[in-house]
């Protein structure tokens, strides 16, 4: 089992499908190896981008086993838990642990707008029924439940709750978390359009989406910021931002799969009820993606950086 440091870049990986709607493991491996070659620090299976809501439990298990075979102990494989009941969440956590998952990303209860007490109890109960390290996904914009500082006071007492995917869209929340808890929780920025800002505010890493199509550029931004090369990272980030905005659209799955197809490490097939984009919408998205590909920046040797001297902030 790999050690989860909750630092660096963690792609929320896509689930490629074939035309017959089965999982395309060959393309999945192509993308996974591209992520690893780029220097990512772990992957997250079965998130929103992985179309988890359409996957069978058997498919999730197969993806986990396959990912562990490819990744080995080089990077940790994190399984997402987005269930409707506490009992089912525990069952998924236990199944993931049995089949070799290195950690879990845990969402609040789905389809029920739980209050603070219910949400904290849900997290606590799931965590107490697994030995795996856990990252809490805090995304009130999409899931309508805010995990507050007061709730994190309670969660801080649970040793295997170790990290937070920070997707509140409020950059100041990163500072609030550090001010309240110090280094008790690792903070990973969870919104592509705030990646640079999150890292400059002190985030320990990123849970990213467009990394599925542009892995080297995403890792480069992270590594450059952490080494103190803020201007160099900002230049890449400004090039990247129009593409990153595809991550905050309701059709982020279709858009990012289209981007991964254009960069040669994905396929466009989605699972119904999603449909591939077409017409003017498709042309508009392709124009953004192809502009990024045509103007792709030359990257420094970001995997072998020495800390910058005389750092000047952007």
Residue range 124-162, pLDDT digits in tens? 999 999 999 999 999 999 999 999 999 999 999 999 999
The span from the CA of 288 to the CA of 45, in Å, is 26
Residue 241: predicted pLDDT? 98
Q: At 88, phi and psi to the nearest 5? A: -70, -35
Q: What is the mean pLDDT of residues 7-11?
A: 98
Residue 20: burial class (beta carbons within 10 Å; 0-12, 13-18, 19+): exposed
Residue 120: burial class (beta carbons within 10 Å; 0-12, 13-18, 19+): buried
Give the percent of the chain with pLDDT over 70.
98
Q: What is the mean pLDDT of residues 243-252?
A: 97
CATH code at position 255: 3.20.20.70
pLDDT value at 288 more than 70: yes
E strands along 119-245, which residues?
134-138, 161-166, 186-189, 205-208
CA 111 to chain centre: 21
Please report whether residue 1 resides in a domain.
Answer: no
Please report whether residue 2 resides in a domain.
Answer: no
pLDDT value at 192 more than 70: yes
Look at 202 and 2; give whichever has higher pLDDT.
202
247: left (phi over 0), alpha (psi -120 to 50) or beta: alpha
Q: What is the mean pLDDT of residues 174-185?
A: 98
pLDDT tens profile 111-128: 889 999 999 999 999 999
pLDDT value at 310 more than 70: no
Please report whether residue 312 resides in a domain.
Answer: no
Q: What is the mean pLDDT of residues 201-214?
A: 98
Residue 84: predicted pLDDT? 92
Residue 287: burial class (beta carbons within 10 Å; 0-12, 13-18, 19+): exposed
At residue 314 the predicted structure's pLDDT band, cuts being 50, 70 and 90, is very low
* Residue whose entry in the numeric block shows the structure tokens 């995304």: 139
Task: Supply 146's token pair.
Answer: 């805010």
Domains in the chain, number: 1
pLDDT tens profile 72-94: 999 999 999 999 999 999 999 99
The span from the CA of 243 to the CA of 264, in Å, is 16
At residue 312 the predicted structure's pLDDT band, cuts being 50, 70 and 90, is low
pTM listed for this prediction:
0.96
Residue 119: predicted pLDDT? 97
Please report whether residue 314 resides in a domain.
Answer: no
The span from the CA of 126 to the CA of 136, in Å, is 11
> What domain range includes position 22?
8-304
pLDDT tens profile 261-274: 999 999 999 999 99
């Amino acid at each position: 089992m790999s050690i989860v440091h909750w630092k660096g870049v963690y792609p929320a990986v896509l689930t490629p499908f074939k035309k017959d709607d089965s999982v395309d493991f060959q393309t999945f491996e192509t993308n996974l190896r591209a992520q690893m070659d780029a220097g990512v620090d772990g992957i997250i299976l079965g998130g929103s981008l992985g179309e988890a809501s359409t996957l069978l439990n058997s498919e999730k298990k197969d993806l986990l086993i396959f990912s562990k075979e490819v990744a080995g102990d080089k990077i940790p494989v994190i399984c997402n838990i987005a269930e409707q009941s506490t009992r089912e969440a525990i069952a998924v956590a236990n199944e993931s642990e049995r089949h070799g998952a290195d950690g879990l990303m845990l969402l609040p209860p789905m389809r029920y707008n739980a209050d603070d007490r219910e949400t904290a109890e849900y997290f606590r109960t799931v965590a107490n029924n697994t030995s795996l390290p856990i990252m809490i996904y805090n995304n009130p914009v999409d899931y309508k439940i805010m995990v507050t500082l007061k709730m994190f006071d309670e969660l801080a007492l649970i040793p295997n709750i170790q990290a937070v995917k920070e997707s509140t869209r409020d950059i100041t929340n990163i500072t609030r978390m550090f001010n309240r808890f110090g280094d008790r929780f690792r903070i990973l920025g969870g919104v592509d359009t705030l990646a640079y800002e999150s890292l400059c505010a002190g985030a320990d890493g990123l849970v990213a989406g467009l990394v599925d199509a542009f892995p080297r550029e995403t890792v480069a931004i992270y590594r450059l910021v952490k080494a103190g090369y803020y201007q160099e990272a900002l230049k890449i980030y400004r090039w990247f931002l129009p593409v990153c905005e595809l991550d905050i659209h309701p059709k982020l799955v279709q858009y990012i799969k289209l981007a991964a197809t254009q960069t040669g490490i994905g396929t466009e097939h989605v699972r119904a009820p999603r449909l591939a984009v077409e017409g003017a919408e498709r042309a508009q998205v392709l124009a953004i993606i192809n502009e990024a590909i045509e103007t792709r920046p030359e990257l420094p040797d970001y995997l072998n950086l020495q800390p910058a001297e005389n750092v000047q902030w952007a």
